[in-house]
Structure 1
């Protein structure tokens, strides 16, 4: 597509194409804006730094637009300008199908486009910028939630529902998008996205799931989750859709669930902390994370049970420090039996009329038409 402002009448089709095909995007807003909320396929190559943007903003309020533009040009000039233009051109060379945008498709992206054109690089900018694309995602998200049937995959903690979600091809992996394992113990070493980033990625994932569901004639699949995944909040439209959706229940033995939880919450999480912090500091952080996660559910456990499981956890951590991670299985089993199972069973009984199938992994895969 030639450079220049994208025709407003084609925006819907353009946005859909960008998000369904992960089209690369240059985000020319300041880093602080990018960190608050952006799109999965975008990279931050700002016209101005946070400090430069702040100065221009103050100038705009005090002296008007023209004075702010002149200040901006004085701040981004010479070698600084050359470096930033070179970064945009390099991105365009590697991603000729891409676009650039700012907050509303206004002055900042216009300046970037102009400077790139002056350097013999034509690159299109998005009409409406981040704000218009974000509005598109919100509208599409709410449309999908209200119009399309969803199918929930439920099951007790440790059933490894996520593997089926990932293998279905027509699902939005809520835990993956939130970078969280979905319980008090679900914190990941590399942290979670901002709420806006989570919502943007979720909407895009739902667009892709809708397309795949349409191709296969199957409903979109979601893991049966609560409102919170760590600090990420599921939007109200999705929660409303999930409350009225049919449920497929995956069943697994206690032994299988302990094994999965041990691998996921102990072995894999320690490996994540080691990769993030290095061997010297990882175990202490890992141990503190487990201890605090158990402390957060102490009231629901009750004082006696909490004390017993806490002692088992402490013994397991001491053994683990000496090279034996197997003792974790004891407190994991107690926690599943005394806390997670009763809680999930109670929640599921209140929606028993929505259950359309239940079975082991092979049976559920067959019912969902997922390769086992």
Structure 2
């Protein structure tokens, strides 16, 4: 007895209602996945590498035989796991996918289908989703929208202000949050970085949510956030957009950086970050930093980094903007949020004219 595996195209799935079962390895799943997908891997990372090696060195047939040998002992687990998910979410269609909609997802869909669990296979696998995202971003790049750019030196609480604005319903695109990286040499500390593919999906999702807004609010980021490269249309929007330059007291910035990166908890990571930029520091600054690090005076370390490295680099970047900035000074986060909101409300009346 055989089961005909039904397929659906990426345009036919419902990202909110369908139950996506990703049968790729845990490593593939961690890099990029469909929304709210559940990983039920056919192979472990090591098993996938083993099958791939046999495919390359020997033949497709031997790789398939090895794959079946690895899969056979797991059949009962797959059936019970997916059956349990169906029981938990009985009103959701099960969509099984792998990398390109090939043997892995067809094997699982066929097996559980034969055992009475209704499901469909995603045609083209995760590759079709990637293509869908790329085409969506290309379409977004053609849309005319205004950009309000929050810029300022490192430690000026831009991310916290953006978070509060978004919570209040303003059309914020929090690029650092989407990338899982804060942008500086320490930006990966305490967060989970996203891959380029996952970032692109999250960005497209946010842009779709804001499609009725005539403007968006972004932070004045550089082209790269960790492993992620921002699309050209956002970089162009940053260059020509209305700019709000935030000014926060120097020692308040130092305190904020200290609290954000928690050098007591992440001492090793802080040292690793400093090592990466040592070649860009003057001899005098390196010597001062060495003394401060030996004393574990991390507030002093961050102050020196702001003064001797980050602030001069920002001054250079500031001069490259094509638009003039409106200056905004504040002493506390609440004051900063209030002043930014006042400015946004004025800005909204201007773009309507």
Is the Cα contact below 8 Å between 2:17 and 2:93 reproduced in 1? no
Matched, 1:140 2:136: yes
* 1:269-288 pair list within 5 angstroms: 270=264, 273=265, 286-288=266-268
- Stretches of structure 1 lacking an aligned partner (at least 5 in a row): 274-285, 318-326
1:111 matched residue in structure 2: 107
2:204 matched residue in structure 1: 207
Is the Cα contact below 8 Å between 1:23 and 1:41 reproduced in 2? no
2:289 matched residue in structure 1: 309
2:25 matched residue in structure 1: 30
Structure 1 position 223, deviation (Å): 1.7
Distance (whole Å) between structure 2 residues aligned to residue 115 and residue 126 of structure 1:
15
2:349 matched residue in structure 1: none
1:253 matched residue in structure 2: 249
1:186 matched residue in structure 2: 187
Structure 1 position 264, deviation (Å): 0.9
* 1:283-362 pair list within 5 angstroms: 286-315=266-295, 317=296, 327-351=297-321, 353-355=322-324, 357-360=326-329, 361=336, 362=338
Give me the TM-score of the superposition, normalised by structure 1. 0.75
Structure 1 position 226, deviation (Å): 1.5
Distance (whole Å) between structure 1 residues aligned to residue 58 and residue 298 of structure 2:
62
Structure 1 position 62, deviation (Å): 5.5
2:86 matched residue in structure 1: 92
Aligned residues between the structures: 327
2:333 matched residue in structure 1: none
Q: Deviations over 1:123-175 (max 9, x none)?
A: 23222210100111112123223424343221111011111222333333332
Distance (whole Å) between structure 1 residues aligned to residue 131 and residue 250 of structure 2:
45
SS in 2 for 1:297: helix
Structure 1 position 303, deviation (Å): 0.8
SS in 1 for 2:182: coil
Closer/same/farther in 2, CA of residues 22 and 291 from structure 1, 3 Å limit: farther
Matched, 1:12 2:8: no
Closer/same/farther in 2, CA of residues 4 and 91 from structure 1, 3 Å limit: same
Closer/same/farther in 2, CA of residues 49 and 357 from structure 1, 3 Å limit: same
**Larger fraction in helix:** 1
Closer/same/farther in 2, CA of residues 345 and 50 from structure 1, 3 Å limit: closer
Matched, 1:83 2:68: no
Structure 1 position 82, deviation (Å): 0.8
SS in 1 for 2:122: coil
Is the Cα contact below 8 Å between 1:185 and 1:293 reproduced in 2? yes
Is the Cα contact below 8 Å between 1:151 and 1:222 reproduced in 2? yes
1:320 matched residue in structure 2: none
RMSD: 3.2
Distance (whole Å) between structure 2 residues aligned to residue 143 and residue 329 of structure 1:
45
Give me the TM-score of the superposition, normalised by structure 2. 0.78
1:46 matched residue in structure 2: 41
- Which among 125, 150, 156 is matched to residue 129 of structure 1? 125
- Which among 360, 363, 366 is matched to residue 339 of structure 2? 363
Closer/same/farther in 2, CA of residues 57 and 115 from structure 1, 3 Å limit: farther
Closer/same/farther in 2, CA of residues 341 and 49 from structure 1, 3 Å limit: closer
Is the Cα contact below 8 Å between 2:178 and 2:203 reproduced in 1? no
SS in 2 for 1:125: strand
Structure 1 position 101, deviation (Å): 0.8
SS in 2 for 1:367: helix
Q: Deviations over 1:152-207 (max 9, x none)?
A: 221111011111222333333332233333212223146534xxxx2233223323
Distance (whole Å) between structure 1 residues aligned to residue 287 and residue 52 of structure 2:
57
Distance (whole Å) between structure 2 residues aligned to residue 301 and residue 42 of structure 1:
45
Deviates more, 1:248-257 or 1:145-154: 145-154
